[in-house]
Structure 1
Amino acid sequence: MRSVANIESLYLDFDGFFASVEQQCNSLLRGRPVGVVAFEGATKPDHRGIYPGAMIACSKEAKAAGLTNVMKSQEAKERCPELILVAQKPDLYRRAQDALLNEIERVIPIDKRKSIDEITCIVDAGGQRDPESLAQAIKTRIRQAIGEQITCSIGMSANRMLSKIACKLDKPNGLTILHPHDLPGPLLSLSFDDIPGIGPGNIRRLYSAGIVNMTRLWESEPKQIRKLWGNVNGERLWYALHGYDVKAQPSKRGMFGHSRILPPDERAVPDVRAFSRILLTKAARRMRRDGFRAAGLYFTAALYNRTYRDSLSLPHVSDDQAILGALMKLWERAASVINECDRIYQIGVVLVDLYDVQERQLDLLHYDDSTRQRWEVLTRTTDDLNRRFGRTAISLGPWPMKAGSLAGGKISFTRIPAAEDFF
């Protein structure tokens, strides 16, 4: 681990990404407060005159009116009556990101896609000599090649953590450079909430140790923070704040799954049961693309007055027949507590206990019998055909997709959907 004397990291965050993409694509939304909601039915009030659900993102104009990215739609409309609500379009946002990153790479190579709206880059010697010109070149390229509605904030510093902190200091459309030789000055006025990796539990432990502000944290010892955290991540955070080149630890995949809050007209049990099959099929496709098998399946159904959870062990499988068969068993077990007349507003399916396909321990009597092998061949053939035609041309059982259902294509904080997720 080395101490960094120059600016080596650039962190870029697109401002109000979902809403700004909507404004770029629809001129009628430009200059107006825009909120993005989960599904089409949430853009209009229900029979009571109440806007259902929550707003998941909003434009800079909406934020200027006092709104935040995540808040109830009804509250948002009450605070800002002129707010325009639009349904999310994950495939559009994914394609917009592809276009934006293509333009950015004409200026500087991209190191990591951190999320749908955040990237990191490694700054070369030229950028270190004139970081302001590098940042402005990126902003100019986006404005000229994509449009004026999509802006970005940029932070630059010695390492990824410090550049991310810098990026958040001047939003929207800002540029902040934390020069290593200026540290810790610009950090001392920040709160613990401004530091990535410091959560509520960490803050409580810091306060209990008498570390009540950034000055005290800066003056602490790395072993002390490691002890407070209870693991090496505390020590790594200390070194990152002090400008050391701290590399991200490799992570191991733990699950593949999908969870959805359902539109009001799709919450009947038969509809949810059919939709859960699609969600699980999409999760299984992703799992196979990444080269895993699963030994467990978790199932969650949220009703208005209770939440039902169940799980089932699987024999190290990856094919649709085995996985969907297990899901139907879970639905059969749920029948004792979930009636056909119930309403389910959220459904979740998760494949867990993952094994690399190369690490699978075969059991000829159960895990790898001839029937399972044939289903696996059929599933691989189905995947190949769907990739070839760019849609779900073949599925195991019915595929009752409705417009706007976004099965498999929802964008989360940690996952950017692939093109195949929208098949």
Structure 2
Amino acid sequence: MRKPETIERLYLDFDGFFASVEQQCDKRLRGRPVGVVPFVGTDRTAVIACSKEAKAYGVKNVMRIKDAKALCPDLILVEQKPDLYRRAHSALLCEIETVIPIDTAKSIDELTCILDDRGRRDPEGLSEQIKSTIEKNIGEFITCSIGFAANRQLAKMACKAGKDASKKAGQYGNGLAIWHPHMMPEPLFQVKLEDVPGVGHSMKMRLAHSQVITTEQLYNLQPKHMRKIWRSVNGERLWMALHGYDIQAMPQKRGMYGHARVLPPESRSINGAYEIARLLLVKAGRRLRREEYYASGLWLWMAIDGGSWFRTIKMPTVNDEQAIMTAHTALWECARRELPRRTTIFRVGVTLMDLSEANARQLDIFNNDDAIRQKWERANGAMDALNSKYSSTIVHMGEWKPPAGGHVGGKISYVRIPSAEDFY
């Protein structure tokens, strides 16, 4: 495994992305505490994202509106505009590409680049050029923090360290940290254990059982020991990353397609939740077909008064809407039998799982659905083609009435970059 002798990676994280896009687009919001919410008109939901002014009061992402307003009474609530954030993401990437090629967009607000000779020699100059290009061509209210290091994982941690340093200096974001290999590992030891990529809450508890509570202690473990703690090769891969080796991300295999949504107050009944879940599943099915997959399982989940309810159902290996909706209806019939009629449902999610690639689909020998499947697949193909041609849902099965807040399937996502097709 190669160990770089100089910095080779850049990691960029936009600061308070969703709220800063709102401030850039609406002059009335600039310099004021802003909280982005799923929909306005109720306090029975959460602040999805907040501006640096709101964070100065202690408001955090994914905080109940009631709690956020207690910390910041002047908080301005703005309804989410997912398609605006998608377009801002695309515009920002185009501007950055004029300065340096982008290797991977890790999420809607994070990306990584491989440095060329100029970037290795003058990371400060490269950082300044990226930031000035964004300010000049997009606007001054969307800022970013940047980290440089020998590999992507260290660059990500450096980026977070740069953002934290800017907070200590009295500003939010616009940070910069450069971790040259000859400086390591001292900067790494200042990072909190939970800020190491791959160390979530459960892994932090597992490490604590092994008497590992600091990043320095983690760094000093042996690779085989980390593999044992992680119970997979990922522990050993993280050891290589922390020690500055050129470790590449392993290819990810698609495991499921799903959507979830917080329900507006008028849709928090069983009937209202069913209609929104149906639309979410239509969107998931479209994504399944676009990427040429089939599914043989469907999962339905709901957050209800006092807990949650979920069930799964097996399907033939299908991707057409008729088969998927047949399974969906069966799950809701089960929900109606088991849940009290006046159950309040706050959130609903649907997931197509047990995937097969289109060229690897296997028919059920006890359910020869080939003729019917082909008929429905042709019908779905024709509908998908028309909707794609006109960039709108103009042909659909059943009613098409998106709920308050719109954009079924195109909500704010911290882990997936929405496509244009998610918004029709």
CA distance in 2, matches of 1:325, 1:177: 55
Counterpart of 1:139 in structure 2: which amino acid? K
| 1:352 alignment counterpart | 353
Alpha carbons 2:270, 2:336 under 8 Å: kept:
no
CA distance in 2, matches of 1:349, 1:298: 6
Q: Does 1:98 align with 2:90?
A: yes
Instruction: Tell me the SS of whatever aligns to 1:13.
Output: strand
Q: Which segment is superposed worse, 295-304 or 123-132?
A: 295-304
Where do residues 288-327 of structure 1 align in structure 2 (5 Å cutoff)?
288-327=289-328
Cα displacement string for residues 354-403 of structure 1 (whole angstroms, at most 9, x for unaligned residues): 00000012357734431221111000110000000111000011111234
| 1:78 alignment counterpart | 70
Alpha carbons 1:258, 1:283 under 8 Å: kept:
yes
Q: Does 1:161 align with 2:147?
A: no
Alpha carbons 2:317, 2:364 under 8 Å: kept:
no
Q: Which segment is superposed worse, 355-364 or 368-377?
A: 355-364
Count of residue pairs the alignment pairs up:
415
Give the deviation of 1:347 after TM superposition: 1.3
| 1:31 alignment counterpart | 31
Instruction: Tell me the SS of whatever aligns to 1:238.
Output: helix
| 1:379 alignment counterpart | 380
Cα displacement string for residues 62-108 of structure 1 (whole angstroms, at most 9, x for unaligned residues): 11122212211111111111111111111110000000000000001
Counterpart of 2:357 in structure 1: which amino acid? D
CA distance in 2, matches of 1:337, 1:204: 36
Give the deviation of 1:250 after TM superposition: 1.2
TM-score normalized by structure 1?
0.94
CA distance in 2, matches of 1:35, 1:167: 24
Q: Does the C-alpha gap of structure 1 residues 66 and 352 become closer, same or farther in structure 2, counting only changes over 3 Å?
A: same
Instruction: Tell me the SS of whatever aligns to 1:375.
Output: helix
| 2:183 alignment counterpart | 182
CA distance in 2, matches of 1:65, 1:354: 45
Where do residues 178-327 of structure 1 align in structure 2 (5 Å cutoff)?
178-327=179-328
TM-score normalized by structure 2?
0.94
Q: Which segment is superposed worse, 98-107 or 67-76?
A: 67-76
Counterpart of 2:423 in structure 1: which amino acid? F
Q: Does the C-alpha gap of structure 1 residues 216 and 393 become closer, same or farther in structure 2, counting only changes over 3 Å?
A: same
Q: Does the C-alpha gap of structure 1 residues 216 and 422 become closer, same or farther in structure 2, counting only changes over 3 Å?
A: same
| 1:19 alignment counterpart | 19
Q: Does the C-alpha gap of structure 1 residues 227 and 363 become closer, same or farther in structure 2, counting only changes over 3 Å?
A: closer
Alpha carbons 2:54, 2:75 under 8 Å: kept:
yes
Structure 1 segments of 4+ aligned residues over 6 angstroms from their partners: none
CA distance in 1, matches of 2:213, 2:284: 44
Q: Does the C-alpha gap of structure 1 residues 385 and 364 become closer, same or farther in structure 2, counting only changes over 3 Å?
A: farther
Give the deviation of 1:40 after TM superposition: 2.5
Counterpart of 2:19 in structure 1: which amino acid? A
5+ unaligned residues in a row in structure 2: which ranges?
A: 164-172
CA distance in 2, matches of 1:420, 1:289: 10
Alpha carbons 1:116, 1:411 under 8 Å: kept:
no
CA distance in 2, matches of 1:270, 1:213: 50
Give the deviation of 1:194 after TM superposition: 2.1
Give the deviation of 1:306 after TM superposition: 4.3
Give the deviation of 1:275 after TM superposition: 1.5
Q: Which segment is superposed worse, 207-216 or 251-260?
A: 207-216
Alpha carbons 2:276, 2:403 under 8 Å: kept:
no
Give the deviation of 1:186 after TM superposition: 1.0
Alpha carbons 2:277, 2:348 under 8 Å: kept:
yes
Aligned identity (percent) is 52
Alpha carbons 1:166, 1:178 under 8 Å: kept:
yes
Alpha carbons 1:316, 1:367 under 8 Å: kept:
no
| 1:394 alignment counterpart | 395
CA distance in 2, matches of 1:158, 1:84: 41
Alpha carbons 2:80, 2:412 under 8 Å: kept:
no
Q: Does the C-alpha gap of structure 1 residues 293 and 191 become closer, same or farther in structure 2, counting only changes over 3 Å?
A: same
Give the deviation of 1:26 after TM superposition: 0.3
Counterpart of 2:142 in structure 1: which amino acid? I
CA distance in 2, matches of 1:299, 1:205: 30
Instruction: Tell me the SS of whatever aligns to 1:345.
Output: strand
Instruction: Tell me the SS of whatever aligns to 1:282.
Output: helix
Counterpart of 2:411 in structure 1: which amino acid? K
5+ unaligned residues in a row in structure 1: which ranges?
A: 43-50
Cα displacement string for residues 271-321 of structure 1 (whole angstroms, at most 9, x for unaligned residues): 222211111000000111111001011112332134222221111000001
The root-mean-square deviation of aligned C-alpha atoms, in Å, is 1.6
Q: Does the C-alpha gap of structure 1 residues 34 and 131 become closer, same or farther in structure 2, counting only changes over 3 Å?
A: same
CA distance in 1, matches of 2:328, 2:243: 49
